[in-house]
Structure 1
């Protein structure tokens, strides 16, 4: 019997819902464990015409693993592979040294945040699949504020169901979906000289990667930067070390990644789908003011609370950022309540086992939520079998208060310093500078950020449909792929 179905109380199967019923998910899992030439079809087709129809047969893409997971499972230190573009003997024209995090602590760098837009996309690297709506925003089915009820709930979420049929690969790091949103609102994002009114554009994950350099001693990173119409666009180009980590994942690591996607569906649906959809994303567009810098970045959202109001009668395709900002200041703000929540799975029995004071992964959790204004994480406590029996909220401010190996002020101060370094390094626009891309590289051994320039086509990450459009018009023209 495959490990994707777990036995409890000797003869009782878990259906993953905790409600004592055998759902279609377990039925599917049982069938898939039988010796048959192919997995069963997921759909029931009513053939009224008596014509033969082809069923979609899911492909097994994940290697099965033996459960329970081994106790005290060690996470091997990443193998560092030197970056060919930035060998250890490469001397950058200028560089940014990274000090111990405590040296940045206590610096008073202002930070103001608001969301100015949103979009759903089935593939964030394909601008043709973006919609300015809430279709992929998941909504919790539990009240995150009722802690007592959450603790008393009897749940048994089997995170393994369906794991053999989905490769939980992370979405592409392409900027295309953000560029799509910017294009739709370009008339209100440009000044009279045709320059953008903000300084930096990125995904939230890119900003978090930069901030985490304060305590990253193992993994390097490489970020391409293009200055276009006065704004600096960031794009991650994975280093050899990062690619080795991504493509060298063990079956156990892939399964744990899958568990995170599956857990989200349990919290957001009474009948969670068999296959999670990690590519179908809902993203906020955030506008942050960091000291003298302004940043626009996309933040993927896991879910919102049940009392969130998702319909926005005032939103339409022609709505400008100016109007969005006016809405924030209007007296109708309370009618548009939307509270976003981050969802995480942890290997622990309860909150007391979380080492939030020293484990640096909580610093990454904090920055991920802080940059989007998320105040709570909904945690699922799993065991070695991938079963969640308890969920509980964790306040972001509590993580920050307990931290001993990082601080919020150190993160913001370093990010502010990096932004100033980029602006000082790149002084010409993309087309004025011969379509030059600046590559910034973080060396964990040297604790230093270097840079170099390139005009190679492989690093020209701003698509032609974005740079060639008429920015005096509000019309967005994106060529379809053939």
Structure 2
């Protein structure tokens, strides 16, 4: 197996871990029997990525995104109302309450396809290591080659479609509606959309555009990527794509004794969170990297594919975890924790918001080198990131998010079908540090599917699929 990640598919890499030895254990390769002749439709994966030269350059320049003006919101466009974004210190110290709880979960192989969602734990990964024994974790001698399989996978961002989340809402609509047929929450979104809004405090380079539909009293948020965002995503260099792959590969090493040749980033496990922010109630889906080794769940099919009959499906929402701790997984270019500038670097603010919104208390870090090898892992507590921060604060993020929610509710006062199917587009301008809006009825922006809006939400029976 060479450094590009290409190799024979008949090989499976298995690493042996040892403690308290001076040299790391080399990977031992076990040759699996070639069963190609038994499988008539067996096909090798295609090579889809470009080779890169390792090690990576010692001093890599950070590429600034090329800003492309948004045609819908030119600089001379005057919005009926605007939300100005102040310096983060102006929001600091605002006493905005935040209460969070988990109300559900689901697994999906495609966020944009409701037919590929299941209310089980099949795609939830479990860590192989005990995070409570930090000393043992730091002393382990490991050697994870994150390049293996990289030639066969080009990771992409998950779909912005709300369909998977709408599927879950539809299954549990009776517990989410009041007696007037209105939702009991105020906002619906993916966690990434909420983080995008919060990050506007420090974002000076990239704009964003979010469509909002008010349906049965709730505001549904959907991201419509701007040309600048698309340029960043599709303009990635081979090195940037490889580093993205490293993150997915690292997850497999931490959660499997025999990692697959390449990861399956489309297979996601998500929590459904319900948060109260001041006077606003937010329902959002959050992708979960893994659970801790000692997590206990009622569902016996955790991390395994399962089939369920209609009765199992109907009662699956009661099979919540008895004891479970979820963990975020990250790869960083550093030798140890001392190399991280958590007091000043604002990228750790993004880490904090990602974990805080889901109630995750720690991140498991992998320290990589220029060759894409991880030889040390160590947990990092979220509260330590927040405590050390000097250029942002948790109250500033919550204060601004609270202000944005109030701005949306003040702007949109009519329901979707009472307003001629109007979609409100909110746009963040990094140059002006303002959020503008305009309305549209174009079919391109009608993101709520008919199968969802046409449901009989007054029915007392849950839909079983």
TM-score, scaled relative to structure 1 = 0.88
2:29 is aligned to 23
CA distance in 1, matches of 2:16, 2:342: 29
Aligned partner (choices 230, 235, 251) of residue 238 of structure 2: 251
Determine helix, strand or coil for the equivalent of 2:313.
coil
Aligned partner (choices 287, 297, 306) of residue 310 of structure 1: 297
TM-superposition CA deviations, 1:144-163 (whole Å, max 9, x none): 12110011101000000000
TM-superposition CA deviations, 1:358-404 (whole Å, max 9, x none): 11110000000000000000000000000000000000000000111
Contact 2:423/2:446, CA 8 A, preserved across alignment: yes
1:125 is aligned to 112
Deviation at 1:2, TM superposition (A): 4.8
Determine helix, strand or coil for the equivalent of 2:127.
coil
Contact 2:248/2:265, CA 8 A, preserved across alignment: yes
Contact 2:108/2:164, CA 8 A, preserved across alignment: yes
1:392 is aligned to 378
Contact 1:15/1:158, CA 8 A, preserved across alignment: no
TM-superposition CA deviations, 1:329-357 (whole Å, max 9, x none): xxxxxx80000000000000000000111
* Shift in alpha-carbon separation, 1:428–1:463, aligned structure 2, 3 A: same
2:35 is aligned to 44
- Asked whether 1:135 is paired with 2:126, we answer no
CA distance in 2, matches of 1:439, 1:451: 5
TM-superposition CA deviations, 1:201-246 (whole Å, max 9, x none): 0000000000000011010000000000000000000001000000
Contact 2:14/2:257, CA 8 A, preserved across alignment: no
Determine helix, strand or coil for the equivalent of 2:164.
helix
Determine helix, strand or coil for the equivalent of 1:343.
strand
Deviation at 1:22, TM superposition (A): 2.6
Alignment of 1:16-415 (within 5 A): 19-23=25-29, 44-45=35-36, 47=38, 53-312=40-299, 316-319=312-315, 336-415=322-401
Contact 1:225/1:438, CA 8 A, preserved across alignment: yes
Contact 1:185/1:320, CA 8 A, preserved across alignment: no
Determine helix, strand or coil for the equivalent of 1:195.
coil
Deviation at 1:319, TM superposition (A): 4.4
Contact 2:363/2:382, CA 8 A, preserved across alignment: yes
2:419 is aligned to 433
Deviation at 1:53, TM superposition (A): 1.9
Contact 2:107/2:118, CA 8 A, preserved across alignment: yes
Determine helix, strand or coil for the equivalent of 1:287.
strand
Contact 1:378/1:394, CA 8 A, preserved across alignment: yes
Contact 1:366/1:400, CA 8 A, preserved across alignment: yes
Structure 1 gap ranges (5+): 7-13, 29-41, 328-334
CA distance in 1, matches of 2:90, 2:447: 35
- Asked whether 1:454 is paired with 2:440, we answer yes
Contact 2:343/2:388, CA 8 A, preserved across alignment: yes
TM-superposition CA deviations, 1:288-346 (whole Å, max 9, x none): 00000000000000000011012348x9533498x79xx8xxxxxxx800000000000
Determine helix, strand or coil for the equivalent of 2:293.
coil
1:34 is aligned to none
* Shift in alpha-carbon separation, 1:440–1:341, aligned structure 2, 3 A: same
Determine helix, strand or coil for the equivalent of 2:371.
coil
CA distance in 2, matches of 1:318, 1:166: 36
1:31 is aligned to none
Contact 1:211/1:414, CA 8 A, preserved across alignment: yes
CA distance in 2, matches of 1:22, 1:149: 23
Determine helix, strand or coil for the equivalent of 1:193.
coil
1:3 is aligned to 3
- Asked whether 1:467 is paired with 2:463, we answer no
CA distance in 1, matches of 2:66, 2:15: 37
CA distance in 2, matches of 1:319, 1:109: 36
TM-superposition CA deviations, 1:114-148 (whole Å, max 9, x none): 00000000111110000000000000000112110
Contact 1:17/1:156, CA 8 A, preserved across alignment: no
Determine helix, strand or coil for the equivalent of 1:415.
helix
Over the aligned positions, Cα root-mean-square deviation in angstroms equals: 2.1
TM-score, scaled relative to structure 2 = 0.91
* Shift in alpha-carbon separation, 1:285–1:316, aligned structure 2, 3 A: farther
